[in-house]
Structure 1
Amino acid sequence: MVVSSVLPAVLSDLTSGSHRGVVVDSPPGAGKSTLVVNATAAMVSNGHLPLMIVAQTNEQVDDLIVRLVAALPAGVGVGRLSAQGYVAPSRIASHAQVTVGSKVADLGPVLIVIGTAAKWATLSEGTWPWAIVDEAYQMRSDMLLRIANRFDRALFVGDPGQLDPFSVVESERWTGLTWDPMQSAVAVLLRHNPDLPVHRLPVSWRLPCSAAPVVSQAFYPFSGFTSGTGEGDRRLGLSGAGAGGPLDAAVEMAADTGWALYELPARHTLRTDAEAAEACASLARRVLERGAVAYSEQARDGAPVTASRIAIGAAHRDQVAAIRSYLGDLDITVDTANRLQGREYDVTIVLHPLSGRRDATAFHLESGRLCVLTSRHRHACIVVARAGIPDLLDAHPSTEPVHLNVPVKFPDGWEANQAVMAHLDGHRVALS
Structure 2
Amino acid sequence: MILDDVLDDLGSNRGVVVDSPPGAGKSTLVTAAAGRLARAGERVMIVAQTNEQVDDLIDRIAAHAPAVTIGRLSAAGYVPSARVLHPTVTVGQKVAELNGPVVTIATAAKWATIKEGSWPVAIVDEAYQMRSDMLLRVAPRFERALFVGDPGQLDPFSTVDIDRWTGLTWDPLQSAVAVLLRHNPDLPVHRLPVSWRLPTTAAPVVAEAFYPFTGFTAGSSPTDRTLAINSAPIDQLDDVLAMAASTGWAHYELPSRHTLRTDAEAAAACAALATRLLRRGAVAVSERERDGGPVTAARTARGTAHRDQAAAVRSFLDPAVGDVTVDTANRLQGREYDLTIVLHPLSGRRDATAFHLESGRLCVLASRHRQACVVVGRAGIADLLDAHPSTEPVHLDVPVRFPDGWEANQAILAKLAEHRIVAG
TM-score normalised by L of structure 1: 0.97
Q: Tell me which of 74, 79, 86 is aligned to 1:87.
A: 79
Which amino acid in 2 is paired with 1:287?
Answer: L
Provide the residue aligned with 1:300 in structure 2. Answer: 290
Deviation at 1:111, TM superposition (A): 1.1
Please give the secondary structure, in 2, of the residue aligned with 1:422: helix
Please give the secondary structure, in 1, of the residue aligned with 2:290: strand
Provide the residue aligned with 2:342 in structure 1. Answer: 350
Deviation at 1:285, TM superposition (A): 1.0
Deviation at 1:290, TM superposition (A): 2.4
Provide the residue aligned with 1:211 in structure 2. Answer: 202
Distance 1:8 1:182 in 2: 32
Provide the residue aligned with 1:28 in structure 2. Answer: 22
Please give the secondary structure, in 1, of the residue aligned with 2:250: strand
Q: Tell me which of 2, 10, 14 is aligned to 2:10.
A: 14
Distance 2:78 2:167 in 1: 39
Is 2:189 the counterpart of 1:198? yes
Deviation at 1:90, TM superposition (A): 2.6
> Tell me, which stretches of 5 or more residues in structure 2 are unaligned?
none
User: Pairwise CA RMSD of aligned residues?
Assistant: 0.8
Distance 1:312 1:73 in 2: 35
Which aligned pairs between 1:19-418 and structure 2 lie closer than 5 A?
Answer: 19-47=13-41, 49-74=42-67, 76-93=68-85, 95-243=86-234, 245-329=235-319, 330-418=322-410
Map Cα deviations across residues 93-147 of structure 1 (whole Å, 9 max, x no partner): 2x11100000000001211100000000001121111000000000000000000
Please give the secondary structure, in 1, of the residue aligned with 2:291: strand
Please give the secondary structure, in 1, of the residue aligned with 2:120: strand
Which amino acid in 2 is paired with 1:192?
Answer: H
**Which runs of 4 or more aligned residues in structure 1 lie more than 6 Å from their structure 2 counterparts after TM superposition?**
none
Distance 1:14 1:249 in 2: 51
Relative to structure 2, which stretch is displaced further, 231-240 or 30-39? 231-240
Distance 2:196 2:231 in 1: 28
Please give the secondary structure, in 2, of the residue aligned with 1:299: coil
Map Cα deviations across residues 387-419 of structure 1 (whole Å, 9 max, x no partner): 000000000111221100100011110000000
Q: Tell me which of 419, 423, 429 is aligned to 2:411.
A: 419
Preserved contact between residue 203 and residue 225 of structure 1 (Cα < 8 Å): yes
Relative to structure 2, which stretch is displaced further, 348-357 or 123-132? 123-132
Total equivalences in the alignment = 422
Deviation at 1:162, TM superposition (A): 0.8
Which amino acid in 1 is paired with 2:411?
Answer: A
Distance 1:210 1:55 in 2: 31
Distance 1:246 1:409 in 2: 39
Which amino acid in 2 is paired with 1:276?
Answer: A
Preserved contact between residue 58 and residue 83 of structure 2 (Cα < 8 Å): no
Which amino acid in 1 is paired with 2:291?
Answer: D
Distance 1:125 1:46 in 2: 24
Which amino acid in 2 is paired with 1:24?
Answer: V
Deviation at 1:170, TM superposition (A): 1.1
